[in-house]
Amino acid sequence: MTPKRTKRATRKTAPKRKWSAKVTSDSTHPPEGLFKKDAATIAKTLASKKVSPKGVGSGMRMLSFYINRAGKHLSPRRKSVLNHAKELLKQREHHA
């Protein structure tokens, strides 16, 4: 009788893959260099119909996706700017 494989053993041998690396739809590609700008510009651009035709929520998801994807490679200052942009987007969403 062969020993049963445990989940722990398969996790260690499986390569790390990020599902987000496979995302290629146009809706996840805002203008180049956008996330390097100030919070107000980021929020304004992501709230526009050109970038987020489905509304402000779509822009919020793009920003969250970027923050999550950048992870620990974001400086604390940059993360602060991006989180401020999220707050500005939330305000736009509530006023829309």
Q: For residue 94, what pLDDT is reported? A: 82
CB neighbours of residue 74 within 10 Å = 16
pLDDT of residue 10: 54
- Tell me: pLDDT of 95 over 80: no
Span 18-46, average pLDDT:
81
- CA 10/CA 50 separation, integer angstroms: 44
Q: Stretch 50-61: mean pLDDT, rounded?
A: 88
Indicate the burial class of 28 (C-beta count within 10 angstroms; 0-12, 13-18, 19 or more).
middle
The pLDDT value given to residue 24: 62
Question: Rounded mean pLDDT of 13-18?
Answer: 65
